[in-house]
């Protein structure tokens, strides 16, 4: 049994979600010389489902090496990755405002998928993994509305150029699936994986 975990993510949303289910955590972030962005490169012809699970696994493996390298006390660790797909095409994080506009124009008036993979590595080194897939439908948006949203700064650093928990809620018509998964950490699956790793959520 463990009363805390290591979180291999800088996402404030994942931290907020773990607090919501009463999980104590310490951040286990990459060293300065780690190329974390390289882990997120899409392979040619790779499906969104394969991509998000592969990247999550790589993040978990990198975090395990980090844990050993730093000689930290043993505890389960959690890694997660989220991607957005439209018509089976992966839409990553926007590079700049123009890219965010381009992505949001594609999503406007359409239904897309949000895929979040979670992996928990227990203290014996066993990896437990799960995948959450949700459908999100956006209302039609004109360029002025998209430009206002991009100007808010919210799209940056987020897969699909939006955050469901922020202003994007105002143009999200419908979701089918896991709201917390769309935020970046599906709590039902996460609770189950933590339980398998000896961590009980309160």
| Distance of alpha carbon 102 from alpha carbon 21, whole angstroms | 36
Whether the Cβ atoms of residue 120 and residue 194 lie closer than 8 Å to each other: yes
Residue 99 is a catalytic residue: no
User: Pairing between strand 172-176 and 127-138?
Assistant: antiparallel
| Distance of alpha carbon 177 from alpha carbon 135, whole angstroms | 6
Backbone phi, psi, residue 4, to 5°: -150, 165
User: Pairing between strand 5-7 and 77-86?
Assistant: parallel
Contacts of 27 (CB under 8 A, 6+ apart): 6, 7, 9, 10, 15
DSSP count for the chain of H helices, then E strands: 6, 7
Which of these is catalytic: 31, 81, 87, 135?
Answer: 81
Beta-bridged to residue 85, according to DSSP, are: 90, 113
Active site residues: 81
């Amino acid at each position: 049994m463990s009363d805390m975990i290591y979180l291999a993510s800088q996402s404030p949303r994942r931290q907020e979600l773990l607090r919501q289910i009463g999980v104590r955590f310490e951040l286990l972030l990459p060293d300065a010389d780690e190329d974390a962005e390289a882990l997120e490169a899409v392979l040619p012809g790779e499906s969104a489902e394969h991509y998000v699970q592969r990247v999550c696994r790589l993040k978990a493996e990198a975090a395990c090496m980090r844990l050993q390298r730093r000689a930290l006390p043993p505890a389960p660790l959690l890694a997660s990755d989220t991607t957005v797909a439209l018509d089976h095409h992966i839409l990553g994080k926007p590079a700049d405002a123009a890219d965010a506009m381009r992505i949001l124009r594609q999503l406007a008036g359409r239904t897309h998928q949000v895929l979040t993979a979670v992996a928990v590595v227990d203290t014996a080194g066993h990896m437990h993994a799960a995948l959450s897939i949700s459908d999100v439908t956006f209302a039609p948006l004109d360029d002025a509305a998209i430009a206002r949203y991009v100007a808010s700064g919210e799209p940056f650093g987020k897969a699909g150029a939006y955050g469901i928990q922020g202003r994007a809620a105002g143009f999200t018509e419908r979701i089918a699936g896991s709201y917390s998964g769309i935020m970046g950490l599906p709590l039902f699956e996460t609770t189950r994986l933590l339980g398998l790793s000896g961590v009980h959520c309160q």
